[in-house]
């Protein structure tokens, strides 16, 4: 089973809203990732969690706040976003010392 699930599939939010994106995997992977992908662009790394601890933050604005409650779950809390934050947000996971990352289907976020 190489499934990573993400909810919701689509999200529309205003610039003053607070919302959260959720990601879940049951492959026993200990590394989880958040990526942002704009149209016709490659995925760009935002955050990496390794053994539930934040390992990499790619200088992401504080209006994006990641959280890893346990080894299977990864959240991305959103607050006061801008229209340019509209994108596909992808979650991925991998074995901590493995190289292949497995991606979820993504959440299409629109900020109005």
Residues forming contacts to other proteins in the complex (CB under 8 A) are 2, 4, 6, 31, 40-45, 48, 50, 55-56, 88, 90, 92, 94, 96, 98-106, 108
CA 16 to chain centre: 20
Nearer to other proteins, 11 or 90 (CB): 90
Nearer to other proteins, 58 or 61 (CB): 58
Nearer to other proteins, 43 or 66 (CB): 43
Nearer to other proteins, 12 or 56 (CB): 56
Long-range contacts of 8-14 (CB under 8 A, 24+ apart): 8/107, 9/105, 9/107, 9/108, 10/107, 10/108, 10/110, 11/107, 11/108, 11/109, 11/110, 12/109, 12/110, 12/111, 12/112, 13/78, 13/81, 13/109, 13/110, 13/111, 13/112, 14/111, 14/112
Least Cβ distance, residue 97 to other proteins (angstroms): 8
Show the tokens assigned to 37.
Answer: 């992908």
């Amino acid at each position: 089973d190489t499934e990573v699930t993400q909810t919701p599939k689509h999200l529309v939010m205003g610039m003053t809203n607070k919302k959260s994106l959720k990601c879940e995997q049951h492959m026993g992977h200990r590394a989880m990732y958040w990526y942002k992908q704009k149209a016709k662009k490659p995925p760009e790394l935002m955050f990496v969690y390794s053994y539930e601890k934040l390992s990499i933050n790619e200088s992401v604005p504080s209006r994006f706040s990641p959280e890893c409650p346990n080894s299977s779950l990864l959240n991305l809390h959103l607050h006061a976003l801008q229209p340019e934050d509209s994108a596909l947000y992808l979650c991925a996971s991998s074995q901590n010392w493995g190289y292949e990352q497995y991606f979820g289907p993504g959440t299409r976020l629109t900020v109005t």
